[in-house]
Amino acid sequence: MKTKTFVSTLAIVAAMTILGACSDGVTGAVDPANAAAVSPDLKSATVPEAAILTGAIADVPITACVVTGTVNEAETAGLLFMREEEKLARDVYAYLYAKYKLPVFLNISKSENAHVSAILRLMTGFGIADNSSNTAGVYVNPQLTDLYKQLITMGNLSVNDALKVGVLIEQTDITDLQKELLSVQNSAIKTVYTNLMAGSNAHLKAFTWNLKIRGIIYP
């Protein structure tokens, strides 16, 4: 869906060791209150089903890791890109929740915010400056800015289209994380990316289930 474009950066040596920098970026427990907060049309769902349908499913917790060693140019570019891609997911889901008030968007937007935090902790540990914007829909990568606009346009069509947007975002996240993992050498980055991918798979399941109970098989 997009091509990464980054200005090359010199390899950064992280002389310091930071414990716990990766440990509290992703949640690891189901919130019973969120699990029960099903939409009116889903009141017959059991609590385990509701946990999936509302996105109140546990992301795989990122275990404590040591941020040390070096990151090369490709790893630096990857972190900068994934930080913005996770932000895009958070921004889109926050917008869609404001529009439709569907719990799955609220819960997963919170999870995406945790994903952003996990990557930022890595960047801080490696001394990589965060050059991204805090404004929703604005990204250093212009292709992500265009993608945000396209996804919002699609999501505005209907709640079903909004759920399809969720599927597209999570599929893209998974694909990009898989590509990054093919070349990443730093163990801390591998740990975070692997767990973020597990989280994206859980989110994907939430969106596809929400569509399924509405009689839509997508994709």
Which of the residue ranges 13-27, 37-51, 121-135 would you say has the lowest mean pLDDT? 13-27
How would DSSP label each residue in 13-67? EEEEEEETTTTTSS--S--HHHHH---GGGTTS-HHHHHHHTT-PPPPPPPP-EE
CA quadruple 137, 157, 172, 142: dihedral positive or negative?
negative
Whether 39 maps to a domain, the answer reads yes
* CA pair distance 123, 21, nearest whole angstrom: 10
Query: If you average pLDDT over residues 9-38, what whole number do you get?
Result: 33
Whether 35 maps to a domain, the answer reads yes
Whether 2 maps to a domain, the answer reads no
Query: Over the chain, what is the mean pLDDT?
Result: 79
| Domain total in the chain | 1
State the first-to-last Cα distance of the chain, in angstroms, to the nearest integer.
15
What local confidence, expressed as pLDDT, does residue 54 receive? 72
Single pTM value for the model = 0.79
Whether 1 maps to a domain, the answer reads no
How would DSSP label each residue in 104-121? HHHHHHHHHHHHHHHHHH
Closest C-alpha among 190, 82, 197 to residue 140:
82
Whether 147 maps to a domain, the answer reads yes
Whether 192 maps to a domain, the answer reads yes
CA quadruple 88, 89, 94, 100: dihedral positive or negative?
positive
| Residues near 165 by beta carbon (within 8 Å), at least 6 away in sequence | 92, 96, 151, 154, 155
* CA pair distance 27, 50, nearest whole angstrom: 18
How would DSSP label each residue in 123-152? HHHHT------SSTT--SSHHHHHHHHHHH
* CA pair distance 154, 137, nearest whole angstrom: 15
- Cα separations in angstroms, 200 against 67, 109, 129: 23, 12, 25
Residue-wise pLDDT for 146-195, tens only, equals 999 999 999 999 999 999 999 999 999 999 999 999 999 999 999 999 99
**CATH number of the domain residue 79 falls in:** 1.20.1260.10
Whether 112 maps to a domain, the answer reads yes
Residue-wise pLDDT for 115-144, tens only, equals 999 999 999 999 999 999 999 999 999 999
- Structural domain including 17 reads 12-212
Whether 7 maps to a domain, the answer reads no
